[in-house]
Structure 1
């Protein structure tokens, strides 16, 4: 059974939330530059069923967390964000490959929530 997404409601702007996400998903300098196990950011692959969604996100990104060069060990954190005028709604989910348990991805999500709560102390979240 898949883990439910982490859902966040925040007063932080979309730009602030995206910047915090980028920083929170980064790995150590050593991992990124020496071992080649850095984080890359991509647009999530679309599904043919997405055209059926009535409430498409205003911003979506996927952080691929390095697996020391082995594709099978990589995991990903997906972020979908909606601008609701006075607040933003964010959904975070973990995608993982066969040999990845998603532990790194879950730690990165916790780091994102903690860092975003520093920007917006009124932040509310579920799913952690």
Structure 2
């Protein structure tokens, strides 16, 4: 059974929330520079049905967390963000390959929520 997405409501700007995401999803210097198991950021692929979606996100990105060179061990964190004027709504979900349990991705999501909560004490979230 798939884990439900993490939903966040914050007063931080889209830029602030995206910057925290970029920082938190990065892996250690050792993994990035020595083992080649760094994080890459990709634009999510679309679907022909995206054009009829009533509430398309204003920003979307996928952080692909390295698997030490083994494609089957990689997992990813999908981020979708909507600007609602006075607040932002963020949805995070985990995508994983066959050999990955998504443990690293789930830890990264938890850390992201914790970092946002430090910057925005009014932050609300569910799904963790």
Q: Is residue 11 from structure 1 mapped to residue 11 from structure 2 by the alignment?
A: yes
Q: Which residue of 2 aligns with 1:82?
A: 82
Superposition RMSD in Å: 0.6
Q: Is residue 102 from structure 1 mapped to residue 107 from structure 2 by the alignment?
A: no
List 4+ stretches of structure 1 deviating above 4 A.
none
Q: How much does 1:45 deviate? A: 1.2
Q: How much does 1:2 deviate? A: 1.0
* CA distance in structure 1 between the partners assigned to 2:124 and 2:78 by the alignment: 19
Alignment gaps of 5+ in structure 2: none
TM score, norm. by length of structure 2: 0.98
Q: How much does 1:49 deviate? A: 2.1
* CA distance in structure 2 between the partners assigned to 1:75 and 1:88 by the alignment: 25
Q: Which residue of 2 aligns with 1:115?
A: 115
Q: How much does 1:48 deviate? A: 2.2
Alignment gaps of 5+ in structure 1: none
TM score, norm. by length of structure 1: 0.98
